[in-house]
């Protein structure tokens, strides 16, 4: 049993903390939102009145927050209250620069740290089947691995500080670009009189095969569980895809990498969001490419 503090009990953090409780750990949580605190309390998380109360005398602190600025703010505060040697893990999706900055804060405080963003969405968080992409020292990884195991089914140590965030944004750039390509292919097939099923049957077993097609098909029919069969209810919200594509663009520009397809995908998702579709599943972009996604609301 490990004494854990969990900061950020939202859509992802709430169920992740609940899985740590189920695995037998003592979890104290804090969130600014009363609704999130109440929901977490129902799953067995002890609720603290502040970050400082939550993290005192814990062996590990996990944060699951919206963006880099929140993580910098929260780590700066919590590192003033933890004992040296505490392991601090951030599982939010944030920019690589901020991730490396907070690893530096932890180092200065004599703490071990990991960046450990996830893929698998809210369904994976609830089921405990997330994939964790982890950056940090071998020592920090071996201390934290069993805790990540309680929340996920695949844990990959990607390298040193920031490597987890780097893996996350590279993966999601592939996802964003491949989804645009799959959507475009279905729109072209429709114009050419080719059925959805025929394109799927060919491309899913040919060189066009990819996850966006075979697991998350953006038209209803071929993959019954994909959000296209449920009026594009998320799933993975278009606004979160845009967030990840913007993080990839920020990293590309800071590192001098050339990513023209990632830039194009970011522009398309930005337009989709501006038209009011940010809360829909990201595969709904096909409706914009057909000219159907007029301004929402």
Instruction: Give the residue numbers marked as catalytic.
Output: 168
The residue among 156 and 289 lying less far from ligand NAD, judged by its C-beta, is 156
CB of 63 to ligand NAD, least distance (A): 8
Mark the segment that binds ligand NAD (CB under 6 A) among 4-12, 133-141, 149-157, 261-269. 4-12
Nearest to 89 by CA among 123, 120, 116, 57: 116
Give the start-end residues of each E strand in 91-142: 112-115, 118-119, 130-135
User: From the CB of 131, what's the least distance to ligand NAD, in Å?
Assistant: 10
Between 105 and 184, name the residue whose CB sits nearer to ligand NAD: 105
Among 52, 122, 129, 171, indicate the residue that binds ligand NAD (CB under 6 A): 122
- H and E: helices and strands count for the chain: 13, 9
Region near ligand NAD per CB under 6 A, out of 62-70, 97-105, 197-205, 289-297: 62-70
- Contact, 58 vs 29, CB < 8 A? no
C-alpha to C-alpha distance for 233 and 147, rounded to whole angstroms:
31
Residues 60 and 30: beta-carbon distance below 8 Å = no
Q: If we measure between CA atoms, which residue out of 192, 188, 220, 198 comes closest to residue 289?
A: 188
Counting contacts by CB under 6 A, is residue 248 touching ligand NAD? no
Minimum CB separation of residue 195 from ligand NAD in Å reads 32
Stretch touching ligand NAD by CB under 6 A, among 7-15, 19-27, 158-166, 211-219: 7-15
Distance (Å, whole) CA 97 – CA 222: 40
| Residue with Cβ nearer ligand NAD (175 or 199) | 175
Q: Does 220 bind ligand NAD (CB under 6 A)?
A: no
Give the whole-angstrom CA distance, residue 249 versus residue 284: 22
Least Å distance, CB 294 to ligand NAD, is: 26
Give the Å distances, CA to CA, from 262 to 218, 246, 251.
19, 9, 11
Please identify, among the stretches 70-78, 174-182, 250-258, 279-287, the one whose residues bind ligand NAD according to the rule CB under 6 A. 70-78
Name the minimum Å distance from CB 172 to ligand NAD: 9
Q: In the complex, what is the shortest distance from the CB of residue 139 to ligand NAD, in angstroms, rounded to a whole number?
A: 25
> Is residue 11 near ligand NAD by the rule CB under 6 A?
yes
Q: Nearest-CB residue to ligand NAD?
A: 10
Q: Say how many Å lie between the first and final Cα of the chain, rounded.
A: 49
Q: How many residues bind ligand NAD (CB under 6 A)?
A: 26
By DSSP bridging, strand 87-90 and strand 60-63 are parallel
DSSP 8-class letter at 248:
H
Q: Quick check: helix, strand or coil at residue 199?
A: helix
Residue 64 in the binding site for ligand NAD (CB under 6 A): yes
List of residues contacting ligand NAD (CB under 6 A): 7-13, 30-33, 36, 64-66, 70, 73-74, 92-93, 118, 121-122, 236, 240, 243
């Amino acid at each position: 049993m490990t004494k854990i503090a969990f900061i950020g009990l939202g859509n992802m953090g709430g169920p992740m903390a609940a899985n740590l409780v189920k695995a037998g750990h003592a979890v104290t949580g804090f969130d600014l939102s009363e609704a999130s605190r109440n929901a977490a309390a129902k799953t067995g998380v002890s609720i603290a009145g502040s970050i400082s109360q939550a993290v005192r005398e814990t062996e590990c602190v996990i944060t699951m927050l919206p963006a880099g600025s929140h993580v910098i703010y929260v780590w700066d505060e919590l590192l003033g209250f933890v004992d040296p040697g505490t392991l601090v893990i951030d599982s939010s999706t944030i920019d690589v620069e901020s991730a490396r900055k907070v690893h530096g804060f932890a180092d200065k405080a004599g703490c071990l740290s990991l960046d450990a963003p996830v893929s698998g969405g809210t369904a994976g968080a609830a089921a405990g089947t997330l994939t964790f992409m982890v950056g940090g020292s071998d020592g920090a990884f071996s201390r934290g691995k069993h805790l990540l195991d309680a929340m996920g089914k695949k844990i990959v140590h990607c390298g040193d500080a920031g490597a987890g965030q780097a893996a996350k944004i590279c993966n999601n750039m592939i996802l964003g670009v491949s989804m645009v390509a799959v959507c475009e292919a279905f729109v072209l097939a429709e114009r050419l009189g080719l059925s959805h099923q025929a394109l799927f049957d060919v491309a899913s077993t040919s060189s066009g095969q990819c996850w966006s097609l075979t697991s998350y098909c953006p038209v209803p029919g071929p993959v019954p569980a994909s959000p296209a069969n449920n009026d594009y209810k998320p799933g993975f919200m278009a606004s979160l895809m845009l967030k990840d594509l913007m993080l990839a663009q920020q990293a590309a520009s800071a590192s001098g990498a050339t990513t023209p397809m990632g830039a194009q995908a970011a522009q398309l998702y930005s337009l989709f969001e501006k038209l009011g579709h940010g809360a829909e599943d990201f595969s709904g972009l096909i409706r914009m490419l057909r000219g159907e996604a007029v301004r929402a609301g």
